[in-house]
Chains A and B, each alone.
Chain A
Amino acid sequence: MLLHMRIFIINIDRLGFGFSAGRFSFQGRNMKGKLATLPMSYRLAVTSRVLAAVFGGYLVAALASVTLTLWLPLSRAEAVVTGMTISFLVYLVAVLWCFACRTAWSAWVGLLVPSVILATISGAARGLGLA
C-alpha cells in the first residue's frame, strides 16, 4: 500500500505536477512532500522570481510596446494599437523566462538588460524625431 502510494507520487512528479522545485536552486522537498522543509532562501528566491515576473515583465512589455509604436512605419494610432496588441506576447515570454532561468538573480538580469536596450532604442527614436 505504502509502496504503491510512493510510486504514484513519484509518477506524478515525473509528470511534473508536484511541488517540485525543478531546476530552482534549492531542492527542498523530501519524498512525502513536506513543505516545512523548504529553506527560507528558497522561499525568498521564489518570491523574487514572482516579483520579477509581475513587475519586471510588465516593464519589459510596456517598453516593447513603446519601442514598436515609435519605430513601426505606420500611422500614429495604428502603431499604438499594434504595439499594445503585441506587448502581451512579450509579457508572456518575460514571465516564462523568470521561472525557466537558473537563479532568481538571472531572472532580474534577463529582464533589466532588455529593458535598458528597449529604452535606449525608443530614446533613439525620440532623438531622431520619429516620435
Chain B
Amino acid sequence: MKEGFRQAMAWLHTWAGLLFGWLLFAIFLTGTLAYFKDEISHWMQPEIPARSVSAETSLTLAQNYLQQHAAGASRWLIDLPDARDPGLTVRWQQAPANPGERGRFEAKTLDAQTGAEVQGRDSMGGEFFYRFHFQLQMPYPWGRWLSTIAAMVMFVALITGIITHKKIFKDFFTFRPRKGQRSWLDGHNAVGVLVLPFHLMITYSSLVIFMSMVMPASIVASYGSDVRKFYDEVFPASKTPERADVAAPLAAMAPLLNKASEQWSGGHTARLSVSNPGDANATVVLSRAGDRVVHDFGRAVTFNGVSGQMLGSTPEQPLAMAVGGAFYGLHMGHFAGSVLRWLYFICGLAGTAMIGTGLVIWLGKRQLKHAKSGVMPFELRLVEVLNIASMAGLVSAVAVFFLANRLLPVALAERADWEVNAFFMAWGLSVLHAMLRPGHKAWVEQLVFGAALFVAVPLINALTTPWNLGVALMQGDWALAGFDLTCLATGLFLAWAAWKMQRAGNTVSVKKPRRETPRPITLEQGV
C-alpha cells in the first residue's frame, strides 16, 4: 500500500521532471545569473564609471541637470546610484501635446561624480537574463504564463521528490563517487536536499509573484468587474495634485533624503519621482530601496516640492500583503548584501544542477537497456539532443552573449538586439550540433567549446577595452573584477566537466566489462 503510493509519486516526479526539465534548467540558470543583474550590466556597460559619492551629491547633480535640460517636463524620475549599479539615471516625461495622451520619455545616464552625460554602449546587460527568466522571450503574457506553469510543475516535482526519498537525510550522507548512474543519483539527492529550503522558497514564491495573473478567481469573486479597485487597495499610491499653473522654484531635494530616511528608520531612497517640477503644486515622491526582506511595493514618502513639507507616507502594509511581500523579497533577494548574494547565486546553481542531474539520470537509466545493441530509440535520442543543447548549449550561449558585448562594434545600429540575437543563434547552433554528432562526443565538444568561450571572456575584455582584470582590481571595482574571475572559474569548471565526461565515456563504452570485476582498490584511489 505505502510502496504503491511512493511508486506513483516517483512516476510523477520522473515524468513531470522530464517534460519541464529543459525549460526549468534555462529558467533556473538565467534566474541565478539575474541575482548579479546589476553587476553584469556594469560589466556590459563599463563606460559608466563606479563612483563613491554620497546620495546627496548625486541627487544635487541630477536636479541641476534636469533643471537645465527638462525644466518644462511634467515628470522627472531619478534613479540614484548604489554600490551595485553605478549609473545615475535621469528620465523625464514631456507634457503631452494633447490631454489624455502619454508624454514622451527621455532618459540619460550621468556620471555620479561630475554630472556629465555618459553614453554606455547599447546593451541589455543583466536585464536580459532577468527578463528571460520569467518572460522567456515570448510576447506578453505567454512567457509569464509558461514560466508560472513551469513553477507549478517544479513545485510538484519537488514535493514528489521528497516523498520518493523516504530516507531523505540518510540518503544525503550517501555519496558513491565514480559509480556512474549511482553517483548521478546521489548527486541529484545531495544538491536537492542540501538546499531544499531554498528550492521550496524560490518555487513557491514564484507562484505567489504571479498569483493575481494565474489565479484571479478570488479577485473576480470579491471585486466583480472592478479589478482595478483591488490593485488600488493592495498597492495604495498617493494621489498627485493637479498642476496649479503658477510658477514656483523647486526646493533643493537633497535634504529630503534625510527626512525620508527618518520615516523609514534608516532606510535608503532608491528613486525619486517629481511631478510638475517648477509649478507651485510640485510634489516629490521618494521610494525606498529594497533593503528589507519584506518587499513593500508602495513604500514611499511624499513631499511638497516647493516648501519641502512632508505630505504623507504610505501606511504599513497589512499581514497578508506583508507575507506576499516577503515571498517577493525573498525571491528577488534585493536586500541581500554581497555574502548573501553569493549564497543566493550558489543555491541557484545547486537548483540548476539538481535539474540537470535529473535529466541526465532519466536518460542514463534508459540508455543502459540499449547499451548492448548500440541502437537508441528515437525518443531517447530526442531526450539526449535536448539534454545537450539545453545544458551545454545554453551555457555556451551565455558566454557568446558576453563576448558579443565586447566584439560587436559600439556604433552598430540596434546593438543590444544583436547581442540577444547572438545568444539565440549560438543556442540554435548547439541544437544543430547535438543532432549531427553522436551524444557523448557532442557533450564533450560543447563543454570544451563553452570552456574556451568563458576563458576567452576576460581575455577579449582585456584586448578590447581598458577595463581589464588588473585595472579593475587596482581600482577596487569588485563588480568588474568579480565578473572576469567568475567567467574564468566557469571556464575551468566546464573544462573539468568535459574531461570527466571524456573519461566516463571511455569507461562506459570501451571498458564496460571491467566494471563487473570487483575492484575495491578504486575506492581508495585519489581523484
Chain A interfacial positions (CB closer than 8 Å to B)? 1, 4-5, 8-9, 12, 15-24, 32-33, 61-63, 65-66, 68-70, 74-85, 87-88, 91-92, 95-96, 99-100, 122, 131
Contact = CB atoms under 8 A, between A and B. Distances in A.
Question: Which 8 pairs from chain A and chain B are nearest by CB?
Answer: A16-B10, A23-B4, A22-B7, A77-B233, A62-B217, A69-B218, A78-B320, A22-B8
B8 A80 contact: no
Contact of A22 (B11, B159, B221, B365): B11
Given A78-B319, A95-B156, A99-B11, 17 more contacts: A9-B368, A15-B10, A15-B185, A16-B164, A20-B7, A22-B4, A22-B7, A23-B8, A65-B218, A68-B218, A77-B318, A78-B321, A82-B323, A88-B208, A92-B155, A96-B156, A99-B12
A17 B361 contact: yes
Given A85-B320, A96-B159, A77 B230 contact: yes
A30 to B, nearest CB: 12
B330 to A, nearest CB: 13
B64 interface: no
B9 A99 contact: yes
Interface string B322-355: 0110010000000000000000000000000000
A79 B5 contact: no
Given A77-B230, A84-B218, A91-B152, A16 B7 contact: yes
Interface string B164-177: 10000000000000
A87 B14 contact: no
Contact of A20 (B11, B208, B369, B516): B11
Contacts of A17: 10, 14, 164, 185, 361, 365
B215 to A, nearest CB: 5
B223 interface: yes
A105 B218 CA distance: 28
B6 interface: yes
Q: Place the interface of chain B in its size category.
A: 35 or more
A24 B5 CA distance: 10
Interface in B191-225: 204, 207-208, 211-212, 215, 217-219, 221-223
B197 to A, nearest CB: 17
Interface in B492-515: 513
Nearest to A102: B4
B10 A20 contact: yes
B156 A70 contact: no
A126 B513 CA distance: 71
A80 B11 contact: no
B387 to A, nearest CB: 17
Contacts of A77: 230, 233-234, 318, 320-321
B24 to A, nearest CB: 16
